[in-house]
Amino acid sequence: MSNSSTSDLLKPFKLKTKQQELLIRVSILCLVYILAFITRLFSVLRYESMIHEFDPYFNYRTTLYLTQHGFYDFWNWFDYESWYPLGRIVGGTLYPGLMVTAALIYRLLHFLRFAVHIREVCVLTAPFFASNTTLVAYFFGKEIWDSGAGLVAAILIAVCPGYISRSVAGSYDNEGVAIFALLFTFYLFVKAVNKGSLAWGLASAFGYFYMVSAWGGYVFIINLIPLYVLVLLITGRYSMRLYVAYNCMYILGMLLAMQIRFVGFQHVQSGEHMAAMGVFFLMQVFYFLDWVKHMLSDTKLFQEFLSITVTCAVAAGGIALGVGAASGYISPWTGRFYSLLDPTYAKDHIPIIASVSEHQPTAWSSFMFDFHILLFLFPAGLYFCFKRLSDATIFIVMYGLTSMYFAGVMVRLILVATPAVCLISAIAVSATVKNLTVLLRSKNKVAQIGSTKGTSSAKASSKASLDQSQPFQKNGAMALLFGAFYLLSRYATHCTWVTSEAYSSPSIVLAARGAHGNRVIFDDYREAYFWLRQNTPPDAKVMSWWDYGYQITAMGNRTVIVDNNTWNNTHIATVGRAMSSYEDEAYEIIRSLDVDYVLVVFGGVTGYSSDDINKFLWMVRIGGGVFPVIKEPDYLVNGEYRVDKGAAPKMLNCLMYKLSYYRFGEMMPEYGKPPGYDRARGVEIGNKDIKLEHLEEAFTTSNWIVRIYKVKPPNNRW
């Protein structure tokens, strides 16, 4: 009785199947949206709401400047606090997308009367955009396969470690918004190709504009899309839809991209962008030929015309390229581009690129770490894609294959491959699960029909015969489904573990376990930077290795000689040379650069291994690349890098060694080991009696991680 009355009451709220499906889909998407955001908050909960690592500090500083001084001042900002004495034209040498986005969010929140600090906005920008990326992944998946694949793609990308590594809260870097922009541009372009509408083409042009404003990785888009178009042309899939989409996207996207000062006229002048232009002209030739074919009825005549036109077009293109390159109008490919195509190029020619750990070729373990089960779902997804080829699946296959190659070349490009891998794996998961469930459900239905109505129709009998042919199908499908769920749950566990253990550390604050299992925090970086900020003259110039440049200007508010924007190799080499010279020679260089303080990072007391002594060989290499006086073998003993008694004499007396180990010989960092025992390298240092002549210790942090030396004025000569 009561049951029926409640069901009567609920009748108006009863949903049709389609509405139910929509409700489920929307709620899953909402949950995924929230999940993508909160899984990136480990670092905020475990540490604090702070900016991580190196580059984000520059982005934060510029965003602060943007919100305080307005857009025009930001655009015209000449920063005299970095690259002393050269300075840096900030407005013309950065991708402003990230800063403008954060500033707009900040303005919007303040307009809505939410009194938030700009730092909180910056910290949460990356998770927010990661959440948006899941939505884009859903729509993209829906476009290339079906809404089920879209949902799976959204879930996979929400927790995929390859993406989380660059988008945790606090990792306020270009990649945070750029991956969103990249995937969004691709989605809009694929949509434009599928629909052939100008509106979607225009939208993709704007998506491309946002991507260009956000990250230098836009070069990937401007090369992948022409490649995709070329493949479609070759496979005979040329259509009017493609023509409209590509032309609209390329022309408008190019014009919009030129508005970014850092990019400027590169779209028409640089070698990296020429592929897009070539394909653009090829497209016109194709259209022209199509038109001629339409007009000419004689196929033989058309064949001849075709050969002449193609020859002429190719020749004209080749001559134009040759003349452009020879006259210097078209700049050749940059070293970074070469290093992508040839992984060994950077090691031989550009040590400064090779010195960054995230530019190293990827190890298998990090693929496994970042993709987990996606790594073998990826080929399965490719199989499904090839089985159901369409314009959209061709695109995702090409995106997946090219980005996987780049991910193999450089560790940090795993990030670019992640959306493609997630989408393709989602197709695999979705298609498999769908097939299996269809199998299960259809059998049930047959059984039901059989029991209620009996075997009456021919349809049912045919299905029953199908059942009989595969007797273990139901069990097999069940087992496979459970297997899939097991794998996916392992994936979720793995992702959460990786996020919490590996990718949520700010690297400014170091945490370790103490002897009693308690958490010990080493906050030495900020101690040193804050000391610089408060207790040195405001115009003091600090020399350090370039890794710490952005942090010193952002947190210490002091002028630096070199920083992470490694635009001037000679300047960096000069610093490298100073660090690897004897103190007298180094003093000359330091005086010539007008340096007041020298900052080194030293991990010998705490066992912190990414310190300056371990980076020192790169300083030698980069310094030696410009100044041949510095020779790497002088610092090595039989090709071995050591700091103990057996170290090379030049090593034991160079400035970096002296500054790192000054008075360390009196120190007993570990019980039961001799004084001067370096815990980072596990040896007793070779030179314990270090005297400094031209520099004096100004500050050393409580765990010795950062040491700052003051440069003494020159001695009186009389």
Partner 1 sequence: MEAWIRARVTLALTLFALLFFVSRSSPPRQFVISNAERRIDLSSHIINVHLTLKVENTGTRPASEVVLTLTPTEVDHLAMVDALAIKGKRKKTTSVRLEVKPTELPDAPPIDAKYFTIYLADPLNSGESTTLEVLYVFMHFLEPFPAEIAQSESQLVFYHDTALILSPYHIKQQTTFIKTPSTKVESFIRVEPTNRVGTEIKYGPYEDCPPYSISPIHVHFENNSPFAVVEELVQEIEISHWGNIQVTEHYTLVHAGARHKGVFSRVDYQSRQFSNGASSFRYLLARLPARVHSVYYRDEIGNISSSHLRTNSLKSELEIEPRYPLFGGWKATFVIGYGLPLQDFLFESSDDKRYLNFTFGCPLIGMVVDKLTIKVVLPEGSTDPSPVVPFPVEHRLEAKYSSLDVIGRTVVVLEKKNFVPMHNSHFQVYYTFNPIFMLAEPLMLASAFFMFFVACVAYIHIDLSIRK
Applying CB under 8 A, which residues contact partner 1?
47-48, 50, 113-115, 508-509, 521, 523, 526-527, 529-531, 533-535, 555, 663, 666-667, 696-702, 704
Q: CA 415 to CA 55: how far, in whole Å? A: 16
Least Å distance between CB 31 and partner 1?
A: 18
Q: Which is nearer to partner 1, 170 or 351 (CB)?
A: 170
Which candidate, 200, 156, 197, 204, places its Cα nearest to that of 181?
204
Residue with tokens 């052939």: 196
In the complex, the smallest distance separating the C-beta of residue 582 from partner 1, rounded to whole angstroms, is 22
Taking the C-alpha atoms of residue 595 and residue 694, their distance in angstroms, rounded to an integer, is 12
- Alpha helices for 13-117 (secondary structure H): 17-38, 42-46, 55-69, 71-75, 97-111
| Tokens at 598, concatenated | 């020298």
Taking the CB of residue 520, how many other CB atoms lie within 10 A of it? 13
Please, which residue, 284 or 507, has the CB nearer to partner 1? 507
CB of 530 to partner 1, least distance (A): 5
Q: How far is the CB of 118 from partner 1 (least distance, A)?
A: 12
Contacts (Cβ under 8 Å, ≥6 apart) of 519: 511, 512, 513
Compare residues 380 and 667 and give the one whose CB is closer to partner 1: 667
User: Rounded to the nearest whole angstrom, what is the least distance from the CB of residue 673 to partner 1 in the complex?
Assistant: 17
Q: Count CA atoms closer than 13 A to 643's CA, side-chain side.
A: 26
Do 29 and 138 form a contact (C-beta atoms < 8 A)? yes
Q: What's the rounded Cα separation, in Å, for the pair 580 and 548?
A: 18
**Phi-psi region at 77: left, alpha or beta (left = phi > 0; alpha = psi -120 to 50):** beta
Both tokens of 206, joined, read: 């704007």
Residue 713 class from Cβ within 10 Å (0-12 exposed, 13-18 middle, 19+ buried)? exposed
Comparison of 48 and 594: residue with beta carbon closer to partner 1: 48
Smallest gap from residue 222 Cβ to partner 1 (A): 34
CB of 262 or CB of 699, closer to partner 1: 699
β-strands 559-560, 541-543: how paired?
A: parallel
Give me the least distance between CB of 544 and partner 1, in Å please.
17
The two structure tokens encoding residue 715: 């001695």
Q: Which is nearer to partner 1, 24 or 323 (CB)?
A: 24
> Do the Cβ atoms of 237 and 298 come closer than 8 Å?
no
Contact 179, 133 (CB under 8 A): yes
- Nearest C-alpha neighbor of 216 from the set 357, 396, 340: 340
From the CB of 203, what's the least distance to partner 1, in Å?
Answer: 18
CB of 659 to partner 1, least distance (A): 13
For the bound state, the minimum distance from the C-beta of residue 534 to partner 1, rounded and expressed in Å, comes to: 4
The rounded distance, in Å, linking the Cα atoms of 374 and 605 is 41
Query: C-beta of 88: minimal distance to partner 1 in Å?
Result: 22
User: Measured from the CB of residue 664, what is the shortest distance to partner 1 in angstroms?
Assistant: 8
Query: Could you tell me the two tokens for 194?
Result: 């599928």
Q: Shortest CA distance to 282 belongs to which of 246, 256, 253, 258?
A: 246
420 vs 698 by CB, closer to partner 1: 698
Residue with tokens 């077009």: 313
Contacts of 663 (CB under 8 A, 6+ apart): 690, 697
Closest CA to 708 of 694, 717, 695, 697: 697
Q: Is 568 left (phi over 0), alpha (psi -120 to 50) or beta?
A: beta
Expressed in percent and rounded to 5, the helix, strand and coil fractions of the chain are 65, 5, 30
The CB-of-707 to partner 1 minimum distance in angstroms stands at: 8
> For residue 688, with 0-12 CB atoms within 10 Å meaning exposed, 13-18 middle and 19 or more buried, which class applies?
middle
- Between 415 and 698, CB nearer to partner 1: 698
Nearest distance from residue 119's CB to partner 1, in Å? 9
Integer angstrom CA distances of residue 313 from 236, 279, 283, 307, 310: 19, 12, 11, 10, 5
Tell me whether residue 114 or residue 288 sits nearer to partner 1 (CB atom).
114
Tell me whether residue 131 or residue 393 sits nearer to partner 1 (CB atom): 131
Q: Would you say how long the chain is, in residues?
A: 718
Nearer residue to partner 1 within complex by CB, 244 or 698: 698
* Structural tokens at position 332: 């050749």
Q: Please identify, using beta-carbon distances, which residue of 79 and 524 lies nearer to partner 1.
A: 524
CB nearer to partner 1: give 294 or 516.
516
Nearest in space to 214 (alpha carbons), one of 241, 255, 183: 183
CB of 247 to partner 1, least distance (A): 25
Nearer to partner 1, 523 or 585 (CB): 523
Q: Kindly state the smallest distance separating residue 403's Cβ from partner 1, in Å.
A: 36
Residue 183 or 695: the one with the smaller Cβ distance to partner 1 is 695
Q: Which of 163, 252, 238 is nearest to 203 (CA)?
A: 252
Q: Rounded to whole angstroms, how far apart are CA atoms 189 and 221?
A: 11
- What does residue 79 show for φ and ψ, rounded to 5 degrees? -95, 110
Q: How many CB atoms lie within 10 A of CB 233?
A: 15
Q: Which is nearer to partner 1, 581 or 701 (CB)?
A: 701
Whether 396 and 228 have beta carbons less than 8 Å apart is answered as no
Contact 578, 655 (CB under 8 A): yes
Give the nearest distance from C-beta 51 to partner 1 in angstroms.
Answer: 9
Question: Quick one: 236 or 713, whose CB is closer to partner 1?
Answer: 713
